[in-house]
Amino acid sequence: MLTKIASRNIWRSKKRSLIIIAAVSFGLWAGIFMTAFYNGVIEQRINTAISSELSHLQLHHPEFRKDYEIKYYLPQGRKILQKIGEDSKTKAIAGRVIIKGMIASASGSSGITINGVMPVEEQNLTNLSKKIIKGNYFNPNKSNEIILSERLRKKLKLNHNKKAILTFQDSEGNLASGAFRITAIYKTVNSPYDDSNVFVKINDIDSLSGIPKEINEIAVLLKSSKTLEESQNSLKLEFPKLEIQNWKEIAPELGYTVSVGDKMMFIFMGIILLALGFGIVNTMMMAVLERTRELGMLMALGMNKFKIFMMIVLETFFLIIAGCPFGILLALITIGITQRTGIDFSQYSDAYSSFGYSSVFYPSLSARQFFIMIILVLITAFVSALFPARRALRLNPAESLKK
């Protein structure tokens, strides 16, 4: 009976009810879509970092990452590389020689990370050739080729097919240098990465650095991120003397970004629902005050305070729930469209790339996040209903009928 009365009462003032329903719909749409957009931003950065920069796992000598000294290479690194590559969970794997050094031209110099790579394996791992905007990938029949970024090219005023000088410390601590011809120019969405990374063939740098046929880094890309922890633990057991890190440990800032994902959802939804809740409470309070005489008459006719309380609660609850389907539907449609087309901020690409982000984002929402949001909306509906209902309980039937 109360349910029937409450459902009819919400349409006694259609304009006010439609405003509340519209506010709930828009608020829910905004909360869901903003969460999905944030997810898309984070997923894009992580996927780019894993596929193009870090991979899922990296293996090093325990002392190597402290100062990046070339003498700390992986004992029997190539055998380890081959063994991990045979694992069914491994999608791609590559060995590298990583050296901190300098690149110089007639116009200046810059500190860089020299990546001595195995051309075929590196292509399978990071798809480096797809990032080339000018020139060609490594030629197996040529030596001393280098691939550098467009940003470094401009900074050092170098051009395709010109030579650059690489200088670094070898395994004995002596200065070593070599001239490398620019075979290609690459560009990624991560400007800081472009500023500090060049690529040469491992066979051209390992002897020069004093560790012929050795490697000091193994990068592993897994078939599924779900096996990350299992694969890492397995490798730690198999190679206990090596440092084996996952991408979250290599780049803690990315790990922190993932960990705050749910917190950001609560912040987005909290702000929106708090503002929405205040609006609903204010509107329903006004409705209760306008119906003082009516509520007083119901009490005088024998309706107890609990039923009055429940009637107001149900009216508020029904108004909020009525707006939910429209907000949810609008959010799902918006997310569905933008997942296919992406949201393009190309005009701000330089700003985004300075933080390592692409300028195109694809919103996404997990089922878990969706259900948490629905629960938050229901909690907001219940809490918002308590205040006007409590105000109705304070009415005195005799005084109410005089108004």
Query: DSSP assignment of 123-178, as one string?
Result: HHHH-GGGGEEEE-SPPTT--SEEEEEHHHHHHHT--TT-EEEEEEE-TTS-EEEE
> Does residue 254 belong to any structural domain of this protein?
no
> Does residue 306 belong to any structural domain of this protein?
yes
Whether residues 66 and 45 share a domain: the answer is no
Helix (H) or strand (E) holding 113: strand 108-117
Q: What is the pLDDT of residue 106?
A: 84
> Does residue 247 belong to any structural domain of this protein?
no
Helix (H) or strand (E) holding 199: strand 197-201
Tokens representing residue 23 in the block: 């506010």
Q: What is the pLDDT of residue 193?
A: 93
> Does residue 251 belong to any structural domain of this protein?
no
Whether residues 237 and 337 share a domain: the answer is no
Residue that finishes a domain, picked among 241, 276, 299: 241
> Does residue 94 belong to any structural domain of this protein?
yes
Whether residues 43 and 68 share a domain: the answer is no
Count other Cβ atoms within 10 Å, centred on residue 134: 14
Contact status, residue 261 vs residue 38, Cβ threshold 8 Å: yes
pLDDT along the chain (403 residues), means of 10: 66 76 85 88 88 93 92 93 94 96 91 96 94 94 94 91 93 92 94 94 93 94 93 94 93 79 76 79 71 67 72 78 86 92 84 79 87 83 76 59 51
Residue that finishes a domain, picked among 241, 273, 293: 241
Count how many residues are written for the chain. 403
Q: Is 173 left (phi over 0), alpha (psi -120 to 50) or beta?
A: left
Residue showing tokens 């209760």 = 288
- The single-letter DSSP state of residue 53 is I
Q: What is the pLDDT of residue 78?
A: 93
Whether residues 223 and 269 share a domain: the answer is no
Whether residues 45 and 80 share a domain: the answer is no
Whether residues 24 and 70 share a domain: the answer is no
> Does residue 252 belong to any structural domain of this protein?
no
Sign, CA dihedral 211-214-217-219, equals positive
Q: What is the pLDDT of residue 307?
A: 75
> Does residue 248 belong to any structural domain of this protein?
no
Q: What is the pLDDT of residue 290?
A: 67
> Does residue 57 belong to any structural domain of this protein?
no
How many folded domains does the chain comprise? 2
Whether residues 83 and 41 share a domain: the answer is no
Q: What is the pLDDT of residue 168?
A: 94
Tokens representing residue 110 in the block: 């810059």
Whether residues 176 and 285 share a domain: the answer is no
Q: What is the pLDDT of residue 150?
A: 94
Whether residues 228 and 283 share a domain: the answer is no
Whether residues 236 and 350 share a domain: the answer is no
**Nearest Cα to Cα of residue 317 among 390, 375, 269, 384:** 384
pLDDT tens-digit map of 163-189: 999 999 998 989 999 999 999 999 998
Contact status, residue 325 vs residue 17, Cβ threshold 8 Å: no
Q: What is the pLDDT of residue 280?
A: 76
Q: Dihedral of the CA atoms 333, 335, 336, 341 (nearest 10)? A: 120
Whether residues 38 and 147 share a domain: the answer is no
Contact status, residue 149 vs residue 233, Cβ threshold 8 Å: no
Q: Is 360 left (phi over 0), alpha (psi -120 to 50) or beta?
A: beta
Residue that finishes a domain, picked among 241, 269, 296: 241
Domain that holds residue 112: 62-241
Q: What is the pLDDT of residue 9?
A: 65
Contact status, residue 38 vs residue 358, Cβ threshold 8 Å: no
Distances 201 to 76, 137, 148, 178, 325 between C-alpha atoms, Å: 19, 11, 12, 13, 58
User: What's the predicted TM-score (pTM) here?
Assistant: 0.80
Whether residues 180 and 286 share a domain: the answer is no
